[in-house]
Amino acid sequence: MASKFDAEALELHKRYHGKLAVTPTVPLGSRDDLSRAYTPGVAAPCLAIKENPETIYDYTTKGNMVAVVTNGTAVLGLGNIGAGAGLPVMEGKSILFKGFAGVDSVPVCVNSQKVEDVVKVCQLIAPTYGGINLEDIKAPQCFDIESELKKTLDIPARRSSSSPRSSMHTSISSATCARRRSSSTAQAQRDRRSHASSSPLVQRPSSSATPPAQSTRDAPRT
């Protein structure tokens, strides 16, 4: 029989239909707002990222977004309950990231108990996120997945920690700062090259120019 506390927890989750929501960070009050945030204005950052992939950290949420990934094989004290049943816990971890570390995150529940499947999902979704947090995956799978992701991804990937602020938050903050510095450096180099190419070159004398006068020492004697 469920306790009073369990009943209250169920009622809370049912009332709010979970614990997460997506909130816009830009104004949407006018047609101009929409045009800048979506089409046609959104083409500008898309093309900027295509030209310099590191600017994805400047123009999108990637630098402050974590994927909280599980396959539901070791959920809290509940054991192997499956990916879907683990979703409330992943939502809970996401609100911890936001509430205590200021990091946005999204639960990703992978319906497979194969290491290669979880690894593949993380690799495929990596362009969206600044970090991968592996949560409630049984051992030794969690170690194998973490090891493979660290070898193949260019973003932080690690197993869950008791302190979101001291682990993933620090990792993605450091990675984002490094990427933004790299992006700024690359842009500065492109600007310098562009300036150099547009500068006037030293003019070479044309073939029709008057030849320099001979030295009197070299002039033929009469």
Domain locations in the chain as residue ranges: 61-176
d(CA 141, CA 134): 10
Catalytic site residue from 38, 50, 114, 150: 38
Average pLDDT, the chain: 84
Contact 57, 176 (CB under 8 A): yes
d(CA 192, CA 102): 37
Query: What six digits make up the tokens of 192?
Result: 């310098």
Does the active-site annotation cover 98? no
65-73: average pLDDT:
98
pLDDT at 160: 81
**What pTM value is reported for the model?**
0.76
Residue 2 pLDDT grade (very low, low, confident, very high; cuts 50, 70, 90):
confident
pLDDT at 209: 47
Q: Is the pLDDT of residue 110 over 80?
A: yes
The CATH code that applies to domain 61-176 is 3.40.50.10380
d(CA 99, CA 91): 12
Range of weakest confidence among 37-51, 100-114, 125-139, 160-174: 160-174
Catalytic site residue from 57, 62, 93, 129: 93
Does the active-site annotation cover 129? no
